[in-house]
Structure 1
Amino acid sequence: MGDPNESSSKPNSNGKILYTRRDSNMDDVFAPNPPSKPSDWRRTSADFRRALAVRGDSVESERFLTRTLSTDSNDGREKWTRKFDFLLATIGFAVDLGNVWRFPYICYKNGGGAFLIPYLSMVVLGGIPLFYLELSLGQYHRSGCISIWRRICPIMKGVGYAICLMALYVSSYYNTVIAWAVFYLYSSFTSELPWSSCGNEWNDNATCVDQIRAAELNQTWSNTSQSPSEQFFERHVLESYKSEGLHDLGPPKWEIVVCLLIVYVMIYFSLWKGVKSSGKVVWFTATFPYVVLLILLVRGVTLPGAEKGIEFYLKPNWEELLRTSVWLEAATQVFFSLGPGFGTLLALASYNDFHNNCYRDALITSAINCFTSFLAGFVVFSVLGYMAHLLHKEDISEVTTGGVGLLFVVYSQALTTFDGSVFFSIMFYLMIITLGLDSTFGGLEAIVTGVADEFPKSVGKHRELFVLGLLCVSFLLSLSTTTYGGIYMVTLMETYAAGTAIMTVVLLEAIAVSWYYGIDRVSHDIRSMIRSSPGIYWTVCWKYVSPIFLMFMIVMSFVSTPDLSHGSYDFPDWTKGVGWTITMSSLSLVPAYAIYRTVTMRRKRSFRKAARADRPSHADEFM
């Protein structure tokens, strides 16, 4: 008889080679016959690689990896047609409307060029490490945001369900913003942009003032005066003057409902076939915004007064760095721009080839995202400087505003003064639509992949029907944001639907992965994919820095929750209760599932089993 500890390889009944290792106290790690399902092969081989690594059998692990590569690569899971499809989809998700309106505004508001110090610090210490971690987890385990917890920490599977609910909440208002852009696009197909002058049927001629023309004539206007672009948005697109607040939303506005329906139709035909369909769509939606940004940049920097706007954008105010809120703004911008925790990175990476270089992808995507934010600042503030020049203003703050008003009011007004204003308006709002669509594709794909992987027979085999049902639910939830008071719902949901909740979810994910699943396992998983282990910088960030980064953001979000307002409307105190109810409705799924699993597992086995990751019983003996 041979050595009981010897390693051997042998063909199975189908001619495939199985690598087995015998131990004096155990049977073959793999049975002679292969598992019945391809997914079992992948999960089993992944856990056995870890088992060998823990025992120090790195050479054997590499041999095993090579022998099982054909099995791992053909587990029946859909894959990206081209590597570039994945990169474009990831870039499209990370680069969204916030890069165009939020980053330039908060950069200017929080110290100008000095803001880049806290921003880049948060990118390096929190943003990129979490981004890289999620890409590697999704690619290695090839699972969505729900089923992946079976292999990491099963008792935390409620995190996956919470992510899905938050993504549904976000889609209910984010798609309405895209619908507004669709309305603007449709309205742009005229000989003269309809928000360029007063005198239209929606204008209140008592308060509507063409401020640009008034400035040319050295006329003044009162604080109650509104520009034609502001009244077009408030009185024609939203008709918010017909609502008294959240308690009086009114009926849905049919024009916005039609635009919203168009958005959902585009989303459906981009998602229904999985990465095969979305991988084709992103070639346009992810690249077109950069074409438009470059066109607008060239046009913007050649306008009179552009240098004043760029100076306001970049001029450093070092004293601002002493304010804690500036660092919180930087952390929030980085977090919501790169998008860890939304389940999208897990979903997109799960369709990669096993040996795809996710480390390189994380660096490339993060760098492009930061560059886009910085570039958008030049595009926006060159035009704001031009507007200040036209209105004879020295302070840029007098011509700018935060939120979506920067896109739909201020920039719209500037477009009316361009030569070829109709062309630039069409291009601008096409860019806004494509930026929004890319991000909403990613958010909804996180739900679809997560649920389909968790319920492969009932949902995975009927993806088209599930996507249709999901979008119908999201559309119905969105109807409240199409009402006369819809802007108030958008403001409320934007603040509470995914702010504190998503940061808490990512904190739980970081702790579970780094401390329960283990940094050593994560490092080995990455090494098995890209042949290189993450360095000490990454492991320290994952285990210590990123959790601290997230805890800081969560605490500050509780301490500095702002009183909400829109225009002259101040949200009543009871809306805070509604907002925190929305937040807790998703977070409550985490302890709810933990209790459910603990109770059910106690009935079957023991409490310890409830907190153990799924792995083959023989591989457990290695651990």
Structure 2
Amino acid sequence: MARYNDVNNSNILFSGVGYAICLIDIYMGMYYNTIIGWALYYLIASFQSELPWTQCTNSWNTPSCRPVTELLPNISASSPAREFFDPQVKGGEVLEQYKSDGLNRMGPIKPALALCVFAVFVLVYFSLWKGVRSTGKAVWITALAPYVVLIILLARGVSLPGAAEGVRYYLTPEWAKLYNSKVWIDAASQIFFSLGPGFGTLLALSSYNKFNNNCYRDAIITSTINCLTSFLAGFVIFSVLGYMAHVQHKSIEQVGLEGPGLVFIVYPEAIATMSGSVFWSIIFFLMLITLGLDSTFGGLEAMITALCDEYPKALGRHRETFVAALLFGIYICALPTTTYGGVYLVNMLNIYGPGLAILFVVFVEAAGVCWIYGTDNFARDIEKMIGHRPGIFWRICWKYISPLFILIIFVFSLLSHEEMLGSEYAYPEWSLQVGYVLTASSIICIPLYIIYKFATTPGSLVQRWKMIWQAEHSSDGSTLTYCGEAPRCDLRTASPAPIPSNG
């Protein structure tokens, strides 16, 4: 598959963005695969005659446990599903948080969780070791299977009593919440995590396309499918939330939880009350695992592709060994998330690892392309590839709307990052400082590389400064280079790109 690179100073100047993305992908791999490990734990537990979170007769249940159908709005009690996941209750089976004192004393590693996470890393390795050849085959399963399961779950969900109320709640807008910055932050984070901008996923995978591939069409189709998928998933979730509100005689606001609680408590509670609950549980957690693997493939493949292209002799020629060593290193770093207090670390890594830094990285990417390289030059390059120039709407979005909007979201995220951690657990002050270091560790790659380029560029201080910020455009002598069908590119031997006849 063909690989193309645009050779100009501005791309080299912002190589720090690539290193920042690599660090972000490592942080994401350290906690995201643990969440997939939780889903694998649930999947294994589902292969029983009765789901373990159906009744309160298990050894890990507490005296306050009540079946979900017996929970009353004004009485303090916990359901079997809540105690199975163990969100800070005395008992529990999956996390066993009660055996830790938070981040100050997380306790030992839980072997069952460590094995589940190890199994996830093994699956990831055999999907990445051959590059896009193996990743592409795995994606056929991880990308398509969830749609089959979503449709099955939707058909089941809308047939449940109370589902109509849940769907009505889902489709009824609450305009006042648009004044809440957290809504915008969550929306931006959802797009970045689901679509992959900023993580290098789209850049790495699209680099294997043919030169004249219609990237405009692909961008529209990919974005549309991504948003429609999220919209479809909303019907699946809220139909079940409406059912749970009907069963428990509560409002939907009282039933719903954010984050892992929705996936590992509320939905399993609903599944436990359905006929054929074992079947529904198996396909639900299979869907979660395939969705999670699909996401982790993209981020890790982006990092592996970038490093193999940057160091073709040291890493590119030994990809299988490099991928094994990389994933093993990430797994070792992820082991603290499998301790009894690991969920606190997962939450912290989610916020301070990719959560904040990715917003700044995407802003720098947008600013670098549209403000330094230039929107007109970017549009001209696209015209060479697809034969026509992007419209004025897209150029205005690229140059003004998108960079400024992302910058504003980043500023609001910095101001409200402690609220994003939640209020159930008071994070110690030292952990917040560690979080700042995690965020800064990736962001700082960008200015450090600019300083490095400034120091190594010949000439006077003024000449250096002007030179490093001066982009060389394809119309001014630099070219898009064609790297053949090889899985990696060496610019020293690359030939000029074939320009399509209609370009």
**TM-score, normalising length from structure 2?**
0.89
Match of 2:118 among 261, 264, 288: 261
Partner of 1:286, secondary structure, is: helix
Partner of 1:291, secondary structure, is: helix
Partner of 1:598: 454
1:524-563 equivalent positions in 2, closer than 5 A = 524-563=380-419
Q: Distance in 1 between matches of 2:295 and 2:279?
A: 25
**2:241 pairs with 1:384:** yes
Q: Distance in 2 between matches of 1:175 and 1:353?
A: 32
Q: 1:253-296: per-residue Cα shift (whole Å, max 9, x none)?
A: 11011111111111111011011111111111100000000000
What letter corresponds to residue 168 of structure 2 in structure 1? E
Match of 1:423 among 272, 276, 279: 279
Q: Distance in 1 between matches of 2:33 and 2:210?
A: 31
Partner of 1:397, secondary structure, is: helix
**2:327 pairs with 1:463:** no
CA contact (8 A) 1:153 1:611 kept: no
**2:362 pairs with 1:506:** yes
1:224-235 equivalent positions in 2, closer than 5 A = 225-234=77-86, 235=92
Q: Distance in 1 between matches of 2:420 and 2:175?
A: 28
Q: Distance in 2 between matches of 1:169 and 1:328?
A: 20
How much has 1:618 moved relative to structure 2?
9.1
Larger CA deviation: 310-319 vs 383-392? 310-319
How much has 1:404 moved relative to structure 2?
0.8
Q: Distance in 2 between matches of 1:299 and 1:377?
A: 14
How much has 1:577 moved relative to structure 2?
1.2
What letter corresponds to residue 358 of structure 2 in structure 1? I
CA contact (8 A) 1:564 1:570 kept: no
How much has 1:151 moved relative to structure 2?
5.4
Partner of 2:252: 396
Task: Specify whether residues 468 and 149 from structure 1 end up closer, same or farther in structure 2 by C-alpha distance, changes over 3 A only.
Answer: farther
Partner of 2:223: 366
Q: Distance in 1 between matches of 2:169 and 2:474?
A: 60
**2:108 pairs with 1:246:** no
What letter corresponds to residue 227 of structure 1 in structure 2? S
What letter corresponds to residue 142 of structure 1 in structure 2? Y
Q: 1:302-333: per-residue Cα shift (whole Å, max 9, x none)?
A: 00111111111112223333444444443343
Partner of 1:167: 25
What letter corresponds to residue 298 of structure 1 in structure 2? A
Gaps (5+ residues) in structure 1?
1-77, 80-140
Gaps (5+ residues) in structure 2?
87-91, 480-503
Q: 1:562-594: per-residue Cα shift (whole Å, max 9, x none)?
A: 336567422123322111111001111111122
**2:41 pairs with 1:179:** no
How much has 1:337 moved relative to structure 2?
3.0
**TM-score, normalising length from structure 1?**
0.72
How much has 1:603 moved relative to structure 2?
7.9
Match of 2:303 among 432, 437, 447: 447
**2:353 pairs with 1:497:** yes
What letter corresponds to residue 379 of structure 2 in structure 1? S
CA contact (8 A) 1:309 1:382 kept: yes
How much has 1:399 moved relative to structure 2?
1.3
Task: Specify whether residues 297 and 262 from structure 1 end up closer, same or farther in structure 2 by C-alpha distance, changes over 3 A only.
Answer: same
Q: Distance in 1 between matches of 2:439 and 2:178?
A: 30
RMSD: 2.3
Partner of 2:137: 280
Partner of 1:362, secondary structure, is: helix
CA contact (8 A) 1:149 1:157 kept: no
Match of 1:222 among 75, 81, 92: 75
What letter corresponds to residue 170 of structure 1 in structure 2? M
Larger CA deviation: 508-517 vs 426-435? 508-517
How much has 1:208 moved relative to structure 2?
1.4
Q: Distance in 2 between matches of 1:384 and 1:189?
A: 24
Partner of 1:354: 211
Q: Distance in 1 between matches of 2:376 and 2:74?
A: 65
Q: Distance in 2 between matches of 1:514 and 1:180?
A: 41
What letter corresponds to residue 164 of structure 1 in structure 2? C
| Identity between Structure 1 and Structure 2 (%) | 51
CA contact (8 A) 2:372 2:469 kept: no
Q: 1:157-216: per-residue Cα shift (whole Å, max 9, x none)?
A: 111101100110011000000000111111111110111111212222x2212131x25x
Partner of 1:339: 196
Number of residue-to-residue matches in the alignment = 472
CA contact (8 A) 1:149 1:156 kept: no
CA contact (8 A) 1:300 1:306 kept: yes
Task: Specify whether residues 220 and 544 from structure 1 end up closer, same or farther in structure 2 by C-alpha distance, changes over 3 A only.
Answer: closer
Q: 1:222-246: per-residue Cα shift (whole Å, max 9, x none)?
A: 33x2110111111211111111111
